[in-house]
Structure formats: C-alpha cells, structure tokens
Amino acid sequence: MIVAASTACIPDSTPYEVFDRLADLEFVNAEISVSKEGIITPKDIADKFDIYVQTCRSLRRISPISIFYESEPSSPNYFDYFKVLCNFAKAIKVVVMTVRSSEVGTPYNEEVERLRELIRIAVSNGVLVGLLTESGRLTENPSTVGSLCKSVKGLSVTLDPSHYIFNHAKPVDYDMILDQVCHVRLRDTTPTQFQVRIGQGVLEFGRLVIQLNKVNYRRTLCIDLAELPNIEPMSELRKMRLLVESLL
C-alpha cells in the first residue's frame, strides 16, 4: 500500500506551495483535492489546464497519485468539469478519481444513471472512479454502496471509515464493500467527533490494514486532516504519516 496526503490538509497554501510543504513532511505522494472553496478549484484547472499539468509533471519530491473531485453532484457544470479533470488525470498519469454520491433522498435509479455517465467519461481517459462513503448521502449505508457497484459496471469505492464511526453508537460493518475499494481516506475519529488528535479516537488502523490486505488492496491510504483548535497541524500530519507507515 501507498501512503499519501491530501492537498486539503494545508489550506493556507497556494496551489504551487502545497506540494512542497507536503514534501517537507516527507510525503512522496499526494491526493489533489479539487473543490469550489479549496485552494485548487475546478475552474482553475479548466482555465489554466496547461499550467497545472506542467506544474504536476515538473514535481520532483512528490507525485500526484489521485484526485478528489469534491463538487456537489448537483452543482453547475458538474459533468463539464468532470471531463476536464479526467483529461487532467490522464495528462498527469493519475488513475484514481474520487467523487461524492448524491444526498440521501435522491432516487436510486437517478443516481445509477448519473454514475453510469461518469464511468462512461472516465473510461475513455483510463480513469478509475471511486464513490466516497459519506454520511448524509446514499453511500452512508454499505449495502447501498454494494448495490450501486453492482448496478454501475466499472464503479469502485473510496472508503472513508470515519463516516461509519461518527454519529454511530457502534462502528458500521463495511466488510461487504472492501473488495470494491480503490482508495482510502483516513483520520482518527470517535462516535461524537469526526476528527480528533491521533491516538484519541477509536479507528483501528491496524485492523483496517489487515482487512485491506485480505482483499489484496495495493493502492493508497490517503491522510485527510483538517486543522484542529490549538493543535499544530504539521506535527499531526507528520505523526499520522509515521503511524500509517509503521503498519505497512
């Protein structure tokens, strides 16, 4: 397995600085987070496509390994920007792209058709789409995730275990979808706090790695940490990297 960090972990950087700052923390792989409110937006990549491609190709200490397209499925120009990001992924030799599912209450068949269209676009660029497991969305239930993967040929899963811990009396069992996972996003979590300091949560990182090994998972474990009050974020990122690497 490969350890990476999301560019969203360092929100106070420019798009050109964030890779250097992650590399300074000894990360050699990065997930590019693309969102309307983030340091890298879909419009940025669409408007400055060649500049972003050249920036990523010229990196020496760290390599982009995945893309997280964070936009809401209902947002304007969603499919147009998805096409741009697929072209971008192909140009910088990134295979995995994570997308969000629709909110709870969205008709199942409508979501299937949306995802089939995403897969159609992605396949032509050699991109593997991972549907993020997320509370408040159709993927909050692992059985629905499994059903969507069966209904949409070529669809994979981006597993975020925190969403199956936070706001649950006990962790939700997601073993049934592990063989569909193409990407993993990590932080420490409790039933009452989505993110806590490393070691203060209940996420069993070692057990997760063992579970992933059983299904021959060989892709990325991506660290995704938001800044916590009165906590030095760079120190937390470094500690999280060391923890995950020690398990591999």
Nearest to 89 by CA among 59, 65, 60, 115: 65
Placement of tokens 């997930």 in the chain: 31
Alpha helices in the chain (DSSP H): 18-24, 42-47, 49-57, 78-91, 108-123, 142-151, 205-214, 233-246
pLDDT above 90 (res 15): no
Tell me the CATH number at 163: 3.20.20.150
pLDDT band at 11 (very low <50, low <70, confident <90, very high): confident
| Containing structural domain, residue 52 | 2-246
In tens, the pLDDT along 76-113 reads: 899 999 999 999 999 999 999 999 999 999 999 999 99
Report which secondary-structure segment, H or E, holds 2.
strand 2-6
pTM of the model: 0.95
In tens, the pLDDT along 176-234 reads: 999 999 999 999 999 999 999 999 999 999 999 999 999 999 999 999 999 898 888 89
| Cα distance between residue 226 and residue 194, in whole Å | 10
Q: Tell me, what's the pLDDT at 124?
A: 93
Report the domain count for the chain.
1
What percent of the chain is modeled with pLDDT above 90?
92
In tens, the pLDDT along 89-98 reads: 999 999 999 9
Alpha helices in 152-219 (DSSP H): 205-214
Average pLDDT over residues 119-133: 97
| Cα distance between residue 122 and residue 119, in whole Å | 5
135, 100 contact by CB (below 8 A): no
Least confident of 27-36, 82-91, 125-134, 227-236: 227-236
Q: Tell me, what's the pLDDT at 77?
A: 94
In tens, the pLDDT along 36-53 reads: 988 999 999 999 999 999
Around Cβ 128, how many Cβ atoms within 10 Å? 20
Report which secondary-structure segment, H or E, holds 220.
strand 220-223
